[in-house]
Amino acid sequence: MQYFNLHTHQFTNDAEILELVNQYPQEFDQTMPHYSIGIHPLFIDENRLLSDFEILQQKAGLPECLAIGECGLDKRSETAFEIQLEVLERQLLLAEKFQKPVVIHCVHAFQELEEMKKRLKLTTPVIIHGFSKKEQLAKELLNNGFYLSFGRYLLINPELESVFNSVPENRFFLETDTSDYTIEEVYALAAKYKKITVEELQQIISNNFDAVFTNKQITK
């Protein structure tokens, strides 16, 4: 593994990239070598939650499943926020049961997310994917034990440079999500911002992968 892509919807089958491919329960593809699986807050279907959670339960314990998600909270969703909270809590408890990290999608609901994490006293790592907010929120999330993953917004928003540089090296990941950018492009800019080589950055993220995804240590 030369690169780790924390969150992608596109499997490239590149031997140099370990890709955490996002999967949804009803569209599960068993050919994916590594995946996360979860119920996205924008795609909650109350009529099939029972079957969704049955599939989640089946797939979450498999070694190919590296994480639960993406799941989370989104106040743009047509699904009632109370339902979103219930669905997220069930997924977080599932992650805790299987001791799998969680990949989080969060829009306008960081306070509620932080409160839930504290209330459930989660021990498994929780990663905010596609982070694009201000340094103050980044610091708050880091202080509450979250990890941050950066992707396309890092490439299109120069203001994120200072935010990204404020994150300790043991608390971040990189991703492509649904963008057309390659993970190599994301790493190249991230290394430039950190004023290190791509190889040094690869080692940092490899260390973070070992800490988070193999449960050798969990950084609070």
The binding site consists of 70, 105, 129, 177
Query: 165: part of which helix (H) or strand (E)?
Result: helix 160-165
CA proximity to 160, closest of 144, 174, 146, 180 = 174
Contact 70, 40 (CB under 8 A): yes
> Which residues make up each annotated binding site for a divalent metal cation?
70, 105, 129, 177
Taking each helix axis as running N to C, give the angle between helix 49-60 and helix 81-98, from 0 to 180 degrees, rounded to the nearest 10: 20
CA proximity to 183, closest of 137, 139, 136, 150 = 150
Structure tokens at 62: 């498999």
Provide the β-strand partners of residue 23.
37
Query: 137: part of which helix (H) or strand (E)?
Result: helix 135-143
DSSP state of 32: -
Phi, psi (rounded to 5 degrees) for 28: -65, 130
